Amino acid sequence: MTVANFSSQISECAPSAQIETPDFSKTGHHLTVTVNRDQIAALTQKFFDEQFFLESLSGVDLIENFQVTYHFNRFKKTERVMVRVQVTKEDPVVPTVSHIFPSANWFEREAAEFYGMKFKDHPNPVRLILPEFSTYHPLVKGYKDEGDSAKEVQDLIELEEAIQKLISPTVGQLQTKDYFVNMGPQHPSTHGLLRLLLHMKGERILGVDPVLGYAHRADEKMAEIGNYLQFWPNTGRIDYLCAMLYNWGWANVVEKSMGIEVPERAQHIRLIVSELNRIASHLLWLGTFLLDLGAFTPFLYTFADREKIVDLLEMASGERITFVYFTFGGVLYDVDEQFVIQTRAFIKEMRDHLKDYHKLLTKNVILLKRTKDVGIISKEVARLYGATGPVARASGVDYDIRKAEPLSIYTQFEFDVPLGENGDCYDRYTVRMEEMEQSLRLVEQALDKLPEGAFQCKPAPKRIKPEAGEYYQAIEGGRGEFGIYLVSDGKDKPYRVKLRTPCFSNLSLLSEVSKGLTMPDMVAILGSLDLVIPDIDR
Amino acid sequence: MALSGKLDVLFTKIEDLLNMARANSLWPMTFGLHCCAIEMMSSAASRFDLDRFGAGVFRPSPRQCDVMIVAGTVSRKMAPKIKMLWDQMPAPKYCIALGGCASAGGPFVYPGQYAIVEGVDKIVPVDIYIPGCPPRPEALVNGILMLQDKIRNKNKAPIKLPEEPAKGKGA
Ligand code: SF4
């Protein structure tokens, strides 16, 4: 069944639905549906039964009203449906859908805290990203922080001290019952600022409650404050390990909406640098994952290899990690002959090194014991929580956006999508190892076909002003689907930018998979999820 | 000082000796905040190898560290924790603000922002500021060397800057 003839079924379960079929190549939506809020749960149930997953859920402030936007999509081949629900500001209550898709739980908490909406019957309606006891709703239009940041920090410090005093009497008391362990936000194996509250019984984990927001830098608010060009630096800093790919997402959503043509050479360069960046990101993951498992040496090896990629990318862009190399209609600088020669040399070298890694690791008994059958994510759990990228593919979900919804020139090249079977940590390891090889293959083909010509479109677009409308663009980031939902009102500033980031959804399934495991296994799972914390908190 | 001249000299010498030891074995805390943390990791890894300067022993526990490298943006939610970590470190302790964000908020400052603390010096005292977004690993190495200089010459005039500023595109 295709989405096109899905509309009759939608009207059946939601009689109030107004259905439109926009141009997919421009907006990134196959269907858009507007429904009344009392029918959203029934409609979501319908999508659930039809094997969709909840891609993203975002709030929008429309001055008079609030809008909640749901994106549903299917694995394998993209079929994206956008559902809008509008509520008045006086009565901003929407029924929750988190009992249908557990992934909605976090999305709804996020929308609630940033806009002050309420989700009726939500199981845990507390703040997720902003400080726990804050009361502001920063994404409401016109919000400005008038407060004194130093004072607020002082308040938080006092609060923290008060909390410490409260809990300290129980510390040191021997208990044989279950207890809570705090992990993070400064902990070497949470890879940054993630905090986990672990509910333990003896050695076993009963539940995990991640506390987010320690890396929140308000990227979405900043998108609304500057113009389209001014958002470039942020795109390189959300998931800084694959900045090129996120650059590409932002470039594409605007180019698509304005119909800017990108020259062939620029597209090839984009693919080359992006895939190199993906390898660099996976190499860093490999080093730190093994570091978490207790092996220090591979870290030094992978960083040596990563430095070579960083050099190549620096040659092209002038930066080492937080790239802002793309521009609307092309890339900022052309690459030269030397870049091509050195990249070829690197591919050859890297292939040898990958063989070494396999020899050292893939059959290594310690690695096998630590990762085999640990943290199994089933296909269904991946769908329920909207997991994407290597995490979902290790569970056998055949969803790679480079195949499902290819960006520009991916269709011209040959590459495979490696899939796992069990969905355990070991499969996530093998899938990423295989992906590096596939990326090398892509880079090699693109270098062979690299055409002469312009690296930017001519004339360069003067004013970046997409027409009013809603656009969605997904790209395959290093960790999964990075989606940008852009609402434009036809002015030179974005009206709303929602960043659907892979780590956010991938992390939300943690408590589901870690039940009954021990603490060291938990660390292995965290490592295998490959989290970048600012990508979660934005 | 109320002490006799003789004792005074002896006292200073021991302090100098200790400072030399401190400067040459800095133990930084394993503590990455954002993008700059990746450059901090690169500095510690194979190519730049902070161990050459005696500052490669990254410790996850603040109790064992004497330098806190604040590598990235300090969000408001994180600020109290950073204060807590700093308080847990035994003295003498030093702080390096790595990158634009830790120094002054970096690219995330705009009028009315609600998410970050504009510079870690609002909550802890900073010894060395390293500019850049992110600073190259060479810049961090330079910062460590400057900190060592500062520790060795604790009671003397301001530290001397290197004659030529560190080169590099990304810095
Ligand atoms: S200074 Fe730049 S690179 Fe460093 S944390 Fe801030 S934004 Fe990231």
Tens digits of per-residue pLDDT, A224-256? 888 888 888 888 888 888 899 999 999 988 888
Residue closest to A342 by CA, chosen among A315, A324, A375? A315
Dump pLDDT digits (tens) for B44-62: 888 888 888 888 888 888 8
**pLDDT of B156 higher than 80:** no
Q: Are A232 and A147 found together in one domain?
A: no
**B101, B34 in Cβ contact below 8 A?**
yes
B77 chain-A contacts, CB cut-off 8 A: 130-131, 156, 213-214, 216
The CATH number of the domain holding residue A19 is: 3.30.460.80
CA-CA distance, B33 to B37, in Å (whole number)? 6
- Are residues A381 and A478 both part of a single domain? yes
Q: Which of A125, A142, A157 is a domain's end point?
A: A157
Q: Does the beta carbon of B107 lie inside 6 Å of ligand 1?
A: yes
Are A231 and A137 found together in one domain? Answer: no
Assigned domain for A182 exists: no
Question: Is residue A374 domain-shared with residue A510, that is, in the same domain?
Answer: yes
In-domain check, residue A187:
no
* Burial category of A512 from C-beta neighbours within 10 Å (exposed 0-12, middle 13-18, buried 19 and up): middle
Does the residue A214 lie in any domain?
no
Q: Is B133 on the interface with A (CB under 8 A)?
A: yes
Quote the pLDDT of residue A280: 92
By C-alpha distance, which of A497, A507, A484, A470 is closest to A386? A507
Q: Is A407 within a domain?
A: yes
Contact A362, A480 (CB under 8 A): no
Closest Cβ opposite residue A138 in set B80, B114, B136: B114
Please give the Cα distance from A22 to A34 (Å, whole number): 13
Distance CA A435, CA B110 (A): 39
pLDDT cut 70: percent of chain A above it: 94
Q: What is the pLDDT of residue A345?
A: 93
Total domain count, chain A: 2
Write the DSSP symbol of residue A120.
Answer: E
Among A107, A127, A157, the domain boundary falls at: A157
Please, are residues A223 and A485 in contact by the beta-carbon 8 Å criterion?
no
Does A192 map to a domain?
no
Place of tokens 């063989």: A355
CA angle, residues A355, A357, A363, in degrees to nearest 5: 100
Assess if residue A175 is contained within a domain.
no
Q: Provide the 10 A C-beta neighbour count for residue B17.
A: 10
Confidence label for A169 from pLDDT (cuts 50, 70 and 90): very low
Question: Is A204 part of a structural domain of the chain?
Answer: no
Asked if residue A439 has pLDDT above 80, the reply is yes
Nearest-by-Cβ selection for B75 from A144, A217, A322 = A217
* Contact of A490 with A467, CB cutoff 8 Å: yes
Please state whether the predicted TM-score (pTM) of the whole model is above 0.90.
Answer: no
Mutate which of A320, A322, A532 for ligand 1? The one with the most ligand atoms within 8 Å of its CB, which is: A322
pLDDT of B153 > 80? The answer is no
Residue type, position A293, single letter: L
What is the per-residue pLDDT across A7-50, written as a single tens digit (0 to 9) for each? 777 777 777 778 888 888 888 888 888 888 888 888 888 888 88
Q: What is the pLDDT of residue B11?
A: 57
Provide the pLDDT confidence category of residue A279 given band limits of 50, 70 and 90. Answer: very high
Nearest CA among A489, A464, A467 for reference residue A228: A464
What's the angle, vertex CA A529, arms to CA A499 and CA A238, rounded to 5? 30
Instruction: Pick A216's closest partner by Cβ from B112, B115, B133.
Output: B115
Range of the domain at A445: 219-537
Question: Looking at the complex, does the CB of residue B134 fall below 8 Å from at least one CB of chain A?
Answer: yes
Q: Is there a single domain that holds both residue A132 and residue A252? A: no
State phi, psi for A427 to the nearest 5 degrees.
-65, -35
* Sequence-distant (≥ 6) Cβ neighbours of residue A170 within 8 angstroms: none
B31 vs A contacts (CB less than 8 Å): 186
Contact A222 B77 (CB under 8 A): no
Query: Domain check: are A153 and A228 in the same one?
Result: no
Q: Do B35 and A237 touch (CB under 8 A)?
A: yes
CA B151 to CA B24: how far, in whole Å? 10
Name A506's Cβ contacts closer than 8 Å, sequence gap at least 6: A385, A387, A388, A389, A391, A479, A480, A529, A531
Give B160→chain A minimum CA distance, Å: 29
Q: Alpha-carbon distance A263 to A458, whole Å? A: 9
CA neighbor of B141 nearest in space, from B58, B72, B52, B59 = B52
Name chain A contacts of B115, Cβ cutoff 8 Å. Answer: 138, 216-218, 221
CA contacts within 13 A on the Cβ side of A461: 21
Collapsing DSSP states into helix, strand and coil, what is residue A484?
A: strand
B75 and A216: CB-CB below 8 Å? yes
Tell if the CB–CB gap between A192 and B32 is shorter than 8 Å: yes
Q: With 0-12 CB in 10 A as exposed, 13-18 as middle and 19+ as buried, what is A144?
A: exposed
**Residue A268 forms part of a structural domain:** yes
Nearest to A284 by CA among B110, B85, B118, B45: B45
pLDDT at A160: 67
Mean pLDDT of A351-370: 88
Q: Which of A157, A185, A206 is the last residue of a domain?
A: A157
Residue B170's pLDDT is 45
Stretch B147-162: mean pLDDT: 68
Strands (E), A36-171: 53-62, 65-73, 81-88, 93-95, 118-120
Instruction: Output the CA–CA distances (angstroms, integers) from residue A234 to A219, A246, A463, A496, B137, in the order listed.
Output: 7, 9, 20, 15, 22
Same domain, A357 and A247: yes
Q: How far is CA B34 from the centre of its chain?
A: 16
Within 10 A of A350 (CB to CB), how many other CB atoms are there?
A: 22
Assess whether A132 and A225 both reside in one domain. no
Which of B60, B123, B133 is opposite residue A153, by nearest beta carbon? B123
Q: Do A307 and B118 touch (CB under 8 A)?
A: no
What pLDDT score was predicted for residue A276?
92
